[in-house]
């Protein structure tokens, strides 16, 4: 199997290179080889390859900067997925793509499922839902995994930011009224590999661990692990100050409810997704090695 992996240097892409390796040959062009912002260049690259599967982990993920860089965000989150879907449909190969909890309205406290009404609060979320819909319209053979609060042992993410700030801060304000599920990139990649091997039916699936927490709760768990590991931090969980979303204004609005129901995926693959806390333990231990 020849697998084209886009976004291979990102958090999810890095983990995918490891998890997908046993399934076949992975082609993961970097920016120097393939400029994903250049539609003709992508078309030319695709037409020169003989592929069995496309895994698209490329995306514009900076939620705030998307408000000011709309052309770039639109290209990567909407236009590129459509282009890949059209190619996959024409060539009768599967496309795997990653979406976001930000496509939902972010209100209430009930977990969103795959049939929940959409209602993005920011431009990033709008580009993601448009990308999802264009894939569904353009291809008959696709998997869309909606994920949330992605982090990993490497790269820029909430866990690594907390540990970095913990080395020189003595107090930190963390939002406590946004609720979701921290999802490690490693788990996303592992489930992706399992879905390919199991020939999961085409469709839209939520992919997050079990359980829920706030950013404040996530931060507390990170610093408690740091304390147990003996890390030299000037900040502990006792010095975290919970604040409301309105006390921490950002250019892009954030959903307060990012809970995701992954029952459909568990049932389809006959698995039970792990709890977010156990996944944090694994990712944290990998980070400090």
Q: Distance between CA atoms of 30 and 20, rounded to whole angstroms?
A: 17
End-to-end Cα separation, the chain, in angstroms: 33
pLDDT in tens, 105-146: 999 999 999 999 999 999 999 999 999 999 999 988 999 999
**Does the predicted model carry a pTM greater than 0.85?**
yes
For 104-158, the DSSP string reads B---SSSPB-TTSPB--SSHHHHHHHHHHHHHHHH-SSEEEEEE-SEE-SSSSSH
List, for the chain, all residue ranges whose pLDDT scores fall below the cut of 50.
none
pLDDT at 49: 86
Q: Which phi and psi angles does 118 have, rounded to 5°? A: -85, 165
pLDDT at 235: 86
pLDDT at 144: 98
Is residue 216 annotated as part of the catalytic site, yes or no?
no
What CATH superfamily classification does 2-156+182-210+260-273 receive?
NAD(P)-binding Rossmann-like Domain (3.40.50.720)
Q: Distance between CA atoms of 281 and 289, rounded to whole angstroms?
A: 12
pLDDT in tens, 157-172: 999 999 999 998 989 9
pLDDT in tens, 91-106: 999 999 999 999 999 9
Catalytic residue among 87, 124, 142, 151, which? Answer: 124
Residues 6+ apart with CB under 8 A from 164: none
Q: Distance between CA atoms of 30 and 72, rounded to whole angstroms?
A: 17
The ranges assigned to domains in the chain are: 2-156+182-210+260-273
Q: Nearest Cα to 248, choosing from 178, 158, 175?
A: 175
């Amino acid at each position: 199997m020849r697998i084209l992996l886009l976004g291979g240097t990102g958090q999810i892409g890095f983990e995918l290179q490891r998890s997908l390796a046993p399934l076949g040959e992975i082609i993961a062009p970097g920016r120097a080889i393939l400029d994903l912002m250049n539609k003709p260049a992508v078309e030319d690259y695709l037409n020169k390859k003989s592929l069995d599967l496309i895994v698209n982990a490329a995306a514009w993920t900076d939620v705030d900067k998307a408000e000011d860089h709309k052309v770039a965000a639109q290209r990567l989150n909407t236009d590129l997925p459509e282009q890949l879907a059209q190619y996959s449909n024409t060539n009768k190969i599967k496309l795997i793509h990653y979406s976001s909890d930000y496509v939902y309205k972010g209100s209430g406290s009930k977990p969103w499922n795959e049939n929940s009404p959409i209602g993005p609060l920011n431009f990033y979320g709008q580009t993601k839902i448009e990308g999802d819909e264009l894939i569904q319209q353009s291809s008959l053979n696709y998997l869309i995994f909606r994920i949330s609060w992605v982090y990993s042992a490497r790269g820029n993410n909430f866990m690594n930011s907390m540990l970095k700030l913990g080395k020189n801060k003595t107090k930190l304000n963390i939002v406590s009224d946004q609720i979701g599920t921290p999802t490690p990139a490693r788990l996303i990649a592992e489930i992706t590999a399992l879905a390919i091997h199991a020939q999961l039916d085409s469709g839209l699936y939520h992919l997050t661990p079990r359980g829920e927490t706030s950013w404040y709760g996530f931060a507390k768990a990170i610093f408690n692990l740091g304390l147990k590991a003996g890390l030299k931090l000037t900040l502990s969980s006792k010095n975290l100050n919970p604040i409301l979303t309105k006390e921490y204004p950002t250019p892009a609005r954030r959903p307060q409810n990012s809970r995701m129901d992954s029952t459909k995926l568990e049932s389809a693959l006959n698995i039970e997704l792990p709890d977010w806390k156990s996944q944090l333990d694994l990712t944290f231990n990998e980070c400090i090695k």
